[in-house]
Structure 1
Amino acid sequence: MASRRYLVPLLLVPLTAAAALWLFAWPVARAAPRGLPVGVSGPQAAVVSLEGRLAVAHGSTSFAFHRYDGERSARHAIADRDVYGAVVMSPAGTTLLTASAASPAVANLLQQAAAGPAAGHPAQVRVVDVVPLPATDPRGIAFTSSLLPLLVAGIACAHLAPSLAPTLGRRVGVLLGAAVLTGLAATALAQSWLAYLGGNWAADAGVVALITLAVSSLVSGLAALGRTAGLLAGAMLMVLIGNATSGATTAPELLPTAIGWIGRLLPPGAGAGALRGTAFFDGHGIGRDITVLAVWIVLGLLMTVLGARRAQRSGHPHGAHALGAFAEPAAGGTPAAAVSTD
């Protein structure tokens, strides 16, 4: 029996490590364009020829081509986040418009594609970064690195809220207050000293607060329903699955299709997309991401309420402990758990 007790953790650790390695390394190792939105502009024959060459070189489903009637329209489409870049062909030559702020990985991929044999005339390709990253973070490393601390902050808040606020109403207030303060503090640091975020300060702070609140409310709800197991499940969902599939370091369209969609529907991926929009694109293209965050916030808070109600009805001390409330021992010496939902 003793040997079995030690065998379980010995097997669990390498299995967990293997699963984490697979989640983080596999999407990046298999990164390739899959329906990547790209604009093209120029004479009809030249556009058709370019699309054909790129399809042969990278696969027929690698790019989703959007045609525009000139460089000005293509620039607007990039600024609106309809496409990641555009190839503009004219008698004067070929111009590749990129947006490193949308994804440095995609910008590099488009430059390689434009300089390769599929481009036709690589010597004539001029590259223009329409929406560049800040000079303080030219490769976007600081931006992508900022996602994990927000996840940790949300998980920590969900873990500490029950002990800080014994009633349900106060607990929700702690989650909201901590998210707002995190948004203010993180944005102040990112826009001033570190200077890797641009855009409207209030908009960035609001998105950071929403990311934190989406994570903390979801983890809080899972903990309310499943106690320690729920807390661990929520943390793993955010850090292992959500962070690994977010596409923040590449782009959702560069990940395996199913992984890309999973990432967009979880708070880390939606949060990264929304923060890019407010920081670099004047808020364009953030509607879906904000909706995803809002849905997780509502779902998490509902689960928190349901967990509190269930613990209140059952009077189970472990259920009350998950919600951070204990009643005084009854006269007979039997502890009677109670949860206030004020």
Structure 2
Amino acid sequence: MATHPDATTARTPFGRVVGLALALVGVVAVIVLAFSWPSVTAEPKHLPVAIAGPAEAVAAAEAAVDQRAPGAIDFLEVDDRAAAVDAIETRDAYGAIVLGQEPEVLTSSASSLAVAQLLGGVATSLEEGVNAQAAAAAQAAGAPSAPPHLDVPVTDVVPLAESDPRGTGLTAAMFPLLLGGMIGGIAISLSIIGALRRVLAVTVYSVVGGLLLTAILQGWFGSLQGDYWLNAAAIALSLAAIAAPITGFVALLGRAGIAVGPVVMLLFANPISGAAIPKEFFPAPWGDVGQWFPPGAAATLLRDLSYFPAADTTFPWLVLLAWTAGGILLSIVGHFRTAGGAEPDAEAAHADDPVAAPVAA
């Protein structure tokens, strides 16, 4: 008698095998593109840099810099050195060029080491140009000797902390923060039944996580600076802004909503967050787009709170609040109605109940 293979031992059709393999290759390609594209295509464009000095000197410096690095810098003309420092401390500019009798280049390694290095190169070119101009003027006047060499100092107005001199601690903290929000949202979605209970769980997770992570990053590693409680609030809100949308979409759509974390937060928002390089390094408009998502807003907010207390942090706070509130709203909506196949709370509450064995007759 012919035997038929049991369904559990049936082999997967070759077409499905090939299709799955090709689909996985596509997923890997998307991941590689998402994480490699920003760094491969990154180059400075329209970096805001303050400049002060006599009009003729300012015009000449702007032309020289634009010739050396076309489109890399957008100059913000200010009255004097004090105004240039203020522009840096409020994050209106990454640095400044001060011209006049005592030229100087101002940088801010806390804003970006890459931009600080770029401005260091500008200082070298400025020094060469100033001395060449002075030598030419002295020769034209028939001076018996060359004028003394004029140095153009580079001053780091807002330096990185001694506990994190390369800024690696602050940058490295952003990815675990993203993963923490995702893991929290996914774990709460899978382990807790009831949309409103998930909201409570996200709240407790975010608050306690904010306090603990700030204690580690600031008190132990020294990666964060400034006020502990403000940093803790920022981290707590960042965790909530990532976790709450995941639990909200799960409440609305069922377990398919878990994809919000890996797809939206990890593959899309994280590569353009500006955590490692300034947003101006990304092709327009992606650097600005990244600031509208939790990873970008969190990176900007924590950097500002640590090093730039005079900067306006309203926008990143609002972005994080909006994502958190949106996730909570989705949970509330999902609590009262079923959409896209999501289980009602009353049904889901008994999903894991043991099935009673049939009673023998």
What band does the TM-score fall into relative to the shorter chain? 0.7 to 0.9
Q: Return the match for 1:90 from 100, 107, 119.
A: 100
AA in 2 matched with 1:325: A
Q: Conserved in 1, the CA contact under 8 Å of 2:49 and 2:96?
A: yes
Relative to the length of structure 1, the TM-score reads 0.87
CA contact (8 A) 2:206 2:236 kept: yes
**TM-aligned CA deviation for residue 70 of structure 1:** 1.5
How far the C-alpha of 1:229 sits from its partner, in A, is 2.6
Give how far 1:118 is off: 9.8
Q: What is the aligned partner in structure 1 of residue 13 from structure 2?
A: 2
Contact kept, 8 Å, 1:144 with 1:248, in 2: the verdict is: yes
Shift, 1:164, TM fit: 5.2
Q: Look up the match of 1:120.
A: 129
- In 2, distance between residues paired with 1:162 and 1:16? 24
Structure 2, unaligned stretches of length 5 or more? 1-11, 132-149, 357-361
**Which stretch shows the higher mean deviation, 77-86 or 13-22?**
13-22
- Offset of 1:251 from its aligned partner? 0.5
| 2:329 aligned with 1:319 | no
Matched ranges for 1:101-120 at <5 A: 101-116=110-125, 120=129
Deviations 1:155-201 (A, max 9, x none): 12212224554333332111111111111111111112111111111
Confirm whether residue 69 of structure 1 aligns to residue 79 of structure 2: yes
Flag the 1:153–1:53 CA change in 2: closer, same or farther, 3 A. Answer: same
> Are 1:145 and 2:172 counterparts?
yes
1:337: which partner in 2?
none
Q: Unpaired runs of 5+ in structure 1?
A: 334-342
Question: 1:113, 1:119 within 8 Å by CA — same for their partners in 2?
Answer: no
Q: 1:288: how far off?
A: 1.0
Partner residue, 2:137: none
* Paired residues, number: 325
C-alpha separation between the residues in 2 aligned to 1:72 and 1:119? 25
Shift in alpha-carbon separation, 1:227–1:166, aligned structure 2, 3 A: closer
Matches within 5 A, 1:194-213: 194-213=221-240
CA distance in 1, matches of 2:347, 2:60: 65
Q: What do residues 35-89 of structure 1 show as CA deviations (whole Å, max 9, x unaligned)?
A: 2111001111111111111222222x43221112211111111111111110111
The answer to whether the 8 Å contact 1:38/1:65 transfers is: yes
Q: Assess if the C-alpha contact under 8 Å between 2:198 and 2:247 holds in 1.
A: no
Partner SS for 1:137: coil
SS at match of 1:265: coil
Kept in 1, the 8 Å contact 2:49–2:73? The answer is yes
Give SS of 2:343's match. helix
Tell me the CA shift for residue 293 of structure 1. 1.0
Within a 5 Å distance, the mapping from 1:167-206 to structure 2 comes to 167-206=194-233
Equivalent residue number for residue 339 of structure 1: none
Q: For the residues of structure 1 that align with 2:86 and 2:279, how far apart are their CA atoms?
A: 21
Find the counterpart in structure 1 of residue 251 from structure 2.
224
Shift, 1:310, TM fit: 2.3
* Distance in 1 of aligned mates of 2:128 and 2:200: 56
Counterpart position of 2:63: 52
Aligned counterpart, 2:109: 100
Give, as a single letter, the amino acid of the residue that structure 1 aligns with 2:39.
Answer: V
Label 1:20 to 1:55 Cα distance change in 2 as closer, same or farther (>3 A): same
The amino acid that maps onto 2:348 is: A
Percent identical = 32
Matched residue SS, 1:146:
helix
3-state SS in 1 of match to 2:285? helix
Quick check: 1:53–1:118 contact (8 Å CA) kept in 2? no
1:157 equivalent in structure 2: 184
Question: Could you say which structure has the larger radius of gyration?
Answer: 2
Amino acid at match of 1:83: A
